[in-house]
Structure 1
Amino acid sequence: MSLQRQVAAKMASKRDPVQDKEAQEWIEAILGWKFPAGQSYEDTLKDGVVCCKLINKIKPGSVAKINEGGATFKLMENVQNFQKALKAYGVPDIDVFQTVDLFEKKDIAGVTNTFFALGRAVWKDPKWNGPKLGPKPADANEREFTEEQLKAGETIVGLQAGQNKGATQAGQNIGAGRKILLGK
């Protein structure tokens, strides 16, 4: 098997059809239409048109011009504009797939993960009241303690850390039974 086939097989094994389906259903719910019958998830997303329409529904005006057809570079431009809009919306750069991951179907699992990252960003957007994807991200739970509470905790931590006066390992001769034999 060639290296290229091995890489393709490894990428395909990372895909989770359940997550792909969840992402597709979320996109369909937001856009209000179904992916074309007989066309795969990745083929529907490949030209970036659906992606751009999605981010424009979530945050209107995110992608000013969507290329509905034309040369390959114009369609790839859609994907790149979608990626820029994601980052502007608050999706961390590390969670955004590379253009070739979608356009050349190199890593569709990464594309789906990007939709889940967008889903997390949507949870945090107080203006968005549409469908959500994935579990709600946890909120920070910062706490403040008084000096008295911190001092009271020192004795508890000390006991939890196993302070045990008088405990010793003396006489246990740890490792004494190990001998190293060198070959002749």
Structure 2
Amino acid sequence: MANWPRGYGLISEVNSRINKKYSFELEQEARQWMEAVLQRPLVEGEDSDTPLGEEKFQAALKDGVLLCELMNTLKPGAIKKIHRVASGSFKQFRDMENIENFLNAIVAYGVAVTDKFGTANLTDRNNGMAIVLNCIHAVGRAAQKNGFEGPTLGPKESQYNPRNFDEETLHAGQKMIGLQYGYTQGASQKGMNFGKTRSITD
């Protein structure tokens, strides 16, 4: 596991700014949605109405198992194998493989590549959990778009909806002068008076 510096220079400043974006409200929405989809708590014994906080939330997700199970619930068979190694010298590699499988599966599910987080964002928490939260919310939106009938998270994404007009309608539109071009349907300033006119006398 990489040992990222946290206390000096640009890295510290960037991490500080990202950490400030962490939202307990977004965490609660994501957590409660995941628990409803998986039908079990993310962390046993924790009150579901109280935010876990960044460290506990990361600890619950960092092995990638819950994320893979979430994806397989949304789309059965999306991830063929989930590594559930409890400990050992290869555990961190298994965890990273779970997370990578999850990230590949969500892209295939319709989540934009720009909404993905990096594996190290979760395993090392070097850039905070705000990026991970954004990704989970993106998965929730994609689930609605793909017709998942279970619990929902966030608003439904808009869909591509092209307009197709026939040639006659297109030609009719070209003959119209839009008001944004300044056409006022023949209006003029004739007869308008803006106060007393200036008189010039000898």
Give yes or no for TM over 0.5.
Answer: yes
Letter in 2 for 1:2: Y
| 1:29 equivalenced with 2:36 (yes/no) | yes
1 CA distance for matches of 2:164 and 2:13? 53
* 2:8 alignment partner in structure 1: 2
**Equivalent of residue 146 in structure 2, options 117, 125, 133:** 125
Q: Which residue of 1 aligns with 2:137?
A: 116
CA distance in 2, matches of 1:144, 1:43: 50
**Using the alignment, how far apart are the partners of 2:82 and 2:101 within structure 1?**
9
Determine which structure has the larger helix proportion and give its number.
1
Counterpart of 1:123, as a letter, is Q
For residue 152 of structure 1, the aligned residue among 163, 172, 185 is 172
What SS class does the counterpart of residue 35 from structure 1 fall into? coil
Q: Alpha-carbon deviation of 1:158?
A: 4.1
Whole-Å Cα distance in 2 between the matches of residues 145 and 125 of structure 1?
A: 28
* Contact 2:177/2:183 (8 A) holds in 1: no
Residue of structure 1 equivalent to 2:197: none
RMSD: 2.2
5+ unaligned residues in a row in structure 1: which ranges?
A: 166-184
Q: Residues 26-84 of structure 1, C-alpha deviation per residue, up to 9 Å, x if partnerless?
A: 10000111122277111111111110111111111222222222321111111111111
User: How far is the alpha carbon of 1:107 from its aligned partner?
Assistant: 3.3
**Residue of structure 2 equivalent to 1:66:** 82
Structure 2: runs of 5 or more not aligned: 1-6, 47-51, 187-202
Deviation at 1:155, TM superposition (A): 4.2
One-letter amino acid matched to 2:146: D
Partner of 1:138: 158
Taking the aligned partners of 2:152 and 2:177, their CA distance within structure 1 comes to 41
Which amino acid letter does the alignment assign opposite residue 109 of structure 1? A
What is the DSSP-based 3-state SS (H/G/I as helix, E as strand, rest coil) of the residue aligned with 1:5?
A: helix
Alignment identity in percent? 38
Determine the structure 2 residue equivalent to 1:107. Answer: 128
Structure 1 residue matching 2:82: 3-state secondary structure: coil
Q: Deviations over 1:153-176 (max 9, x none)?
A: 3344444312589xxxxxxxxxxx
Amino acid in the other structure paired with 2:119: T
- After superposing the two structures, state which structure 1 stretch, 35-44 or 81-90, moved more: 35-44
